[in-house]
């Protein structure tokens, strides 16, 4: 595996995170060629980057070579050979080069970094190199001929490989079939039958815990599934008991053993590298990888998440501790804006299951989608397992939103007077509000919305079935900023959410103090029913979410 990096790449923290981990993992097949030209966009890197990169990589446990003249091809070749020969640890070659060499005026300048050389400088450079300065897009015949020998060499090598591979396939039909399945990212038939299910239970189970049970059930079925956490394995429930860790023999510990190079990854406290490494694993192909951290730390890996969405990579984020429901860790750890901010990323599926049974369908659906990344947003706290009664199973998760509890008048062909909707841990609040409203004679439907993106993909018939257009009284409840919910609730609707940061307290206290309660949803429902009845209404206008900490009494 060859990687080429510039000064800028090695200034970015993510490369430090990944390189340190590569050293720990003794990745002997990795060679990093560092183009040490000491020029970045702000020109001479002396103002910002003066460290001894080679020494830093020695500190990471890498094999380090220096080539002082990047034009000395024999030295470069020798360094490449030595790097390949070193298989017990990753290798870096610090290759001193001159940017834009041998352009007479722009070599070794920031100008050559950000802009094209321009006609005059290109001509002057050609002159120095012994080319006709007026000739463009001209390649000498002997260069073409030499280059084409590489094609022949490649074809021969490929043919030889193919022969070996065909023979291997013939004598290993089972493994060949598995390889074929993994390469095409198809899933084994019936794998979903191994998924656990949970009986209705008011005390319930944390969705992170349910996720861990799903992983434990799937690991024997799906050898392509592997993953880990950025140092939060036990909190994220990402480590399957008894599975060996992806560490070399020398790095095994009392807690993590049984390897080397098993299926549980230890990323360390390095969320951005975790995201980038997951992308690399997905681009390599063949396996399905997941990685966990607290939802609030998804911010640190956001650059990598965006690239996964842009590249349509089927990686899965296990983001637990998904709201103020995490309690005492306080506002730095409590996601508020993250639901909206992640839903904003085009091509990312943001899935927030409301109970354990929704978790199982969510995981299944995520695995069935092999052309996009997804994040599972999971609770730290226990969530009741719903008694689905007549409404049936949690299958509706796969469609992004579904009727969890119909209004009492629906069985007799009636229409709900109001629709309550929510995600994750707030669906139980909608359910409790429904009980109150129904007790007051207001037919109330509850819709669980585990994934806005999956719902947006449904046809209009299904969308109108879940949210009948005539029912304009609607309330959403989610422990985050209101952004995005107006699309669902409309001008007559109400949004129950948070417009400020969290606080450190037991989660039940926070929900109460911050007004995420069934009483608040009931009040919002009554408002919305009135608004819907009194005409078309007006656009709601934006809400200001405030910085700083909420008032100690919980007043907003």
Give Cβ neighbours of residue 103 (< 8 Å, ≥ 6 apart).
112, 117, 121, 122, 124, 125, 128
Site string for a second copy, 25-44 (x = CB under 8 A): ---------------xxxxx
255 lines the binding site for a second copy (CB under 8 A): yes
The Cα 355–Cα 423 span in angstroms is 10
Interface with a second copy (CB under 8 A), residue from 83, 210, 324, 345: 345
Question: Nearest distance from residue 230's CB to a second copy, in Å?
Answer: 9
247 belongs to the binding site for a second copy (CB under 8 A):
yes
**Distance separating alpha carbons of residues 475 and 526, to the nearest angstrom:** 10
- Comparing CB distances to a second copy, the nearer of 3 and 310 is 310
- Residues in contact with a second copy, shown as a per-residue x/- string from 125 to 164 under the rule CB under 8 A: ----------------------------------------
Q: Which of 33, 4, 24 is nearest to 88 (CA)?
A: 24
488 in contact with a second copy (CB under 8 A):
yes
Instruction: Show the tokens assigned to 402.
Output: 């579904």
Stretch that binds a second copy, among 93-101, 159-167, 177-185, 260-268 (CB under 8 A): 260-268
Using alpha carbons, select from 335, 321, 325 the residue that is nearest to residue 480: 335
The interface with a second copy within residues 200-239 (CB under 8 A) comprises 229, 231-235
What three-state secondary structure class fits 229? strand
- Among residues 5, 75, 176, 310, the one that binds a second copy under rule CB under 8 A: 310
Rounded Cα distance between 63 and 407, Å, is 67
Determine the Cα–Cα distance for residues 204 and 195; give it in Å rounded to an integer.
Answer: 18
The catalytic residue positions are 271
Q: Is 369 in the site for a second copy (CB under 8 A)?
A: no
How much is the CA Rg of the chain, to the nearest whole Å?
29
Alpha helices in 237-376 (DSSP H): 271-284, 302-310, 338-343, 356-368
Q: Does 114 bind a second copy (CB under 8 A)?
A: yes
User: In whole angstroms, how close is the CB of 154 to a second copy at the nearest point?
Assistant: 28
Question: Is 312 a binder of a second copy (CB under 8 A)?
Answer: yes
Distance in angstroms (rounded) separating the CA atoms of residues 556 and 551: 7
Site for a second copy in 437-456 (CB under 8 A): 452-453, 455-456
Q: Is 307 in the site for a second copy (CB under 8 A)?
A: yes
> What number of chain residues touch a second copy (CB under 8 A)?
123
Smallest Cα–Cα separation from 416: which of 469, 487, 361?
Answer: 469
Minimum gap (Å) between residue 456 Cβ and a second copy: 4
Give how far Cα 125 sits from Cα of 103, 105, 107, 118, 401, Å. Answer: 5, 9, 10, 11, 62
59 part of the interface to a second copy, by CB under 8 A: yes
| CA–CA dist 91, 60 (Å, integer) | 11
Q: C-alpha distances in angstroms, 458 versus 47, 312, 427, 451, 490? A: 54, 20, 21, 12, 19
Question: Which residue of 196, 223, 268, 515 would you call a contact of a second copy, by CB under 8 A?
Answer: 268
**How far from 294 is each of 323, 365, 380, 416, CA to CA, in Å?**
10, 22, 10, 37
| Sole binder of a second copy in the list 12, 127, 132, 164 (CB under 8 A) | 12
Tell which positions 285-304 bind a second copy, by CB under 8 A: 297, 299-300, 302-303
- Contact between 252 and a second copy by CB under 8 A: the answer reads yes
Beta carbon of residue 137, minimum distance to a second copy (angstroms, whole number): 20
Say how far apart CA 374 and CA 422 lie, in whole Å. 19
CB of 281 to a second copy, least distance (A): 16
CB of 486 to a second copy, least distance (A): 4
- CA separation, residue 319 to residues 211, 235, 333, 363, 374 (Å): 11, 10, 12, 13, 10
Establish if 370 lies at the interface with a second copy (CB under 8 A). no
351: DSSP letter: E
Q: Which one, 44 or 387, has the nearer CB to a second copy?
A: 44
Q: Is 484 in the site for a second copy (CB under 8 A)?
A: yes
Q: How far is the CB of 252 from a second copy (least distance, A)?
A: 8
Give exposure, 449-484, as e/b (b: 16+ Cβ within 10 Å): bbbbbbbeebeeebbeebbeeebbbbbbbbbbbbbb
Pick from 325, 373, 416, 443 the residue near a second copy by CB under 8 A. Answer: 373
In whole angstroms, how close is the CB of 121 to a second copy at the nearest point? 18
Site for a second copy in 60-79 (CB under 8 A): 60-61
Of 33, 418, 492, 529, the residue at the interface with a second copy (CB under 8 A) is 492
């Amino acid at each position: 595996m060859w990687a080429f990096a510039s000064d800028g790449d090695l200034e970015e923290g993510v490369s430090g995170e990944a390189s340190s981990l590569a050293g720990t993992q003794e990745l002997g097949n990795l060679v990093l060629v560092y183009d040490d030209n000491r020029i970045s966009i702000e020109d001479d890197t002396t103002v910002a980057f003066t460290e001894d990169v080679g020494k830093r990589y020695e500190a990471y446990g890498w094999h380090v070579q220096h080539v002082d003249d990047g034009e000395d091809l024999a030295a470069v070749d020798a360094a490449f050979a030595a790097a390949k020969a070193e298989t017990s640890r990753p290798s870096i070659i610090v290759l001193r080069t001159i940017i834009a060499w041998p352009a007479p005026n722009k070599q070794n300048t920031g100008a050559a970094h950000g802009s094209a050389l321009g006609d005059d400088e290109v001509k002057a450079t050609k002159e120095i190199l012994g080319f006709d300065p007026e000739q463009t897009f001209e390649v000498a015949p002997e260069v073409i001929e030499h280059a084409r020998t590489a094609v022949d060499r490649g074809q021969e090598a490929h043919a030889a490989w193919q022969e070996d591979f065909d023979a291997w396939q013939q004598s290993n039909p089972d493994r060949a079939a598995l390889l074929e399945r993994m390469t095409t990212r198809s899933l084994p038939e019936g794998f979903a039958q191994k998924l656990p299910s949970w009986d209705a239970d008011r005390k319930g189970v944390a969705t992170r815990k349910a996720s861990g049970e799903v992983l434990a059930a799937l690991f024997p079925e799906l050898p392509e599934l592997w993953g880990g956490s950025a140092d939060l394995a036990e909190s994220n429930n990402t480590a399957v008991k008894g599975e060996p860790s992806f560490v070399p023999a020398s790095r095994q510990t009392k807690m993590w053993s049984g390897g080397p190079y098993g299926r549980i990854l230890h990323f360390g406290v390095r969320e951005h590298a975790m995201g980038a490494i997951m992308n690399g694993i997905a681009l390599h192909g063949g396996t399905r990888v997941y990685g966990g951290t607290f939802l609030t730390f998804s911010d640190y890996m956001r650059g990598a998440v965006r690239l996964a969405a842009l590249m349509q990579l089927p990686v899965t984020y296990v983001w637990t501790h998904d709201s103020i429901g995490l309690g005492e860790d306080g506002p730095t750890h409590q996601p508020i804006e993250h639901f909206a901010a992640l839903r904003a990323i085009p091509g990312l599926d943001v899935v927030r299951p409301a109970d354990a049974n929704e978790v199982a369908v969510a995981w299944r659906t995520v695995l069935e989608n092999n052309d996009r990344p997804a994040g599972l947003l999971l609770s730290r706290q226990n969530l009741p397992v719903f008694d689905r009664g007549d409404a049936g199973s949690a299958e509706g998760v796969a469609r992004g939103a579904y009727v969890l509890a119909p209004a009492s008048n629906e069985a007799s062909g009636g229409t709900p007077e109001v629709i309550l909707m929510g995600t994750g841990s707030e669906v139980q609040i909608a359910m409790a509000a429904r009980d109150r409203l129904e007790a007051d004679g207001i037919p109330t439907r509850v819709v669980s919305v585990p994934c806005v993106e999956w719902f947006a993909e449904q046809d209009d018939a299904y969308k109108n079935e879940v949210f009948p257009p005539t029912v304009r009284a609607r309330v959403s409840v989610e422990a985050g900023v209101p952004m995005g919910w107006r699309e669902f609730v409309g001008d007559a609707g109400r949004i129950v959410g948070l417009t400020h940061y969290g606080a450190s307290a037991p989660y039940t206290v926070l929900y109460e103090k911050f007004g995420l309660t069934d009483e608040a949803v009931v009040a919002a429902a009554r408002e919305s029913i009135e608004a819907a009845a009194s005409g078309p209404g007006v656009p709601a206008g934006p809400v200001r979410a405030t910085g700083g900490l909420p008032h100690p009494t919980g007043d907003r």
